[in-house]
Every structure is written in C-alpha cells, then in structure tokens.
Amino acid sequence: MIAREGIRVILPIFFIAFILSIFTLLSASILLRVIFWISLILFLPSIYFFRDPNRLIPDRDNAIISPADGKVVAIENTEDGFVGKGKRISIFMSIFNVHVNRVPFGGIVKKVNYKKGKFLAAYKSIASFENERSEISIDSDRLKFTVTQIAGLIARRIVSYLSVGDAINKGDRYGMIMFGSRVDLVIPENVKIKVQLGDKVKGGESIIGEIL
C-alpha cells in the first residue's frame, strides 16, 4: 500500500516520467533522456518512502503498541499535564523507516495541540521540547496517554488525521511525518515497559508496554 499523502507526490512524477518516456522514444534529444532518467530516479524512492505496509496488530487487551517504525532512543521519567507521572519513550525514524504513524491504544481523542518550533536533529532529546510538533492526548477506561509527532532536521511536514472527539482503535493509521523524524509516547506509571534503549520497533506491531 501507499500512504494517502504519497499519492499526490507519486502520481505527478509517474505521469511526467510516462510522457517523457514516449517523447524519448520518438526523439533523439539527449536533454529529454536526461530529464526522463531524473524523473524515474525520483519516482522509485518516492514509492519506497511512502510505502504503507499492513501490520499484524497484537491481539492482547493490555498491550500498548509502537506508534512508529524506528529505534528507541530515550526512555525517561516525565510528568505530563494530561497523563501525570509516567515514562516518555522516544522513537527516532530515519528516512529509511516507514513513516506512517499508528495509534498505540484505543480510546477517545481528548486533545490535539500543534506547536510551532525549531527543526533540530530529531534524535536529540531536546527535540521533544524545542521542535515543531503535534501532541495528541487519548483517553480510555484503562489508559491515558499522549503521543507526539515531532518534526526533525529534514522533516518539515507533520500530518495528523485526528480531531477532538474521534473514537480510535489500536493500530489505526493516524498520520505521518515526512523525511525522518521522531515520535514520543508518554504512558503512566501503571504500565510495564517492554522495550529497551536501542531496540528497533515497528509501528502497529511491536509491543511498547503492558498495562498492569
């Protein structure tokens, strides 16, 4: 599958490459051939970047799943205005990771807060507080948590499909961040963390924690 944001990027590139391929066959122009190969080179990485593979969502009621593909770069004590005391788990997404984000646990969206900020390297801890980001707070009868999409040094566009009041399920696609970024998950103290620093995780599939 291709992420919905990718269609608007991939289709124009494909159309240009297709038209140029016809003209290239009918013409001996070196310039046309160069432009055709450039468009083809752009087309293939675009498909790779905007890929959106299906994931096998863990069938465990107490499991909290990863919101993103990437590497766990921080597990820190924190205090969140919505969650209270808990842990912040930060996942760094390189440009080679799938960039579609998924809901860690089902519930009702209570807050959506977009904050403008800097574009520091997303693997740095300070990025959680200084960078441009979209914070989404979700509540259920078993868990309150906040998941934050954070822009990075290259990533300059955060996409979220959620609004306050939306009912969402574990594993639902809820947005993406383009070209390398970071996702923070804040969960309360009654969750047993199931990952360690350096672990590589898959969004919608890897278990981040379990409700005790």
Give the separation between CA 178 and CA 190, rounded to whole angstroms. 33
Q: Is 206 a catalytic residue?
A: no
| Tokens (6 digits) for 103 | 């809901």
Best CA proximity match to 5, nearest among 162, 136, 177: 177
Question: How many of the other CB atoms lie within 10 Å of CB of 86?
Answer: 21
Do the beta carbons of residue 98 and residue 51 sit within 8 Å? yes
* Per annotation, catalytic residue among 46, 134, 160, 181: 181
For residue 138, the surrounding DSSP H or E stretch is: strand 133-139
Residue 175's alpha-carbon distances to 60, 169, 184, in angstroms, are 23, 14, 14
Contacts of 123 (CB under 8 A, 6+ apart): 73, 92, 182
Terminal-residue alpha carbon distance, the chain: 35
CA distances 105 to 2, 80, 82, 88, Å, are 23, 17, 16, 15
- Residues involved in catalysis: 181
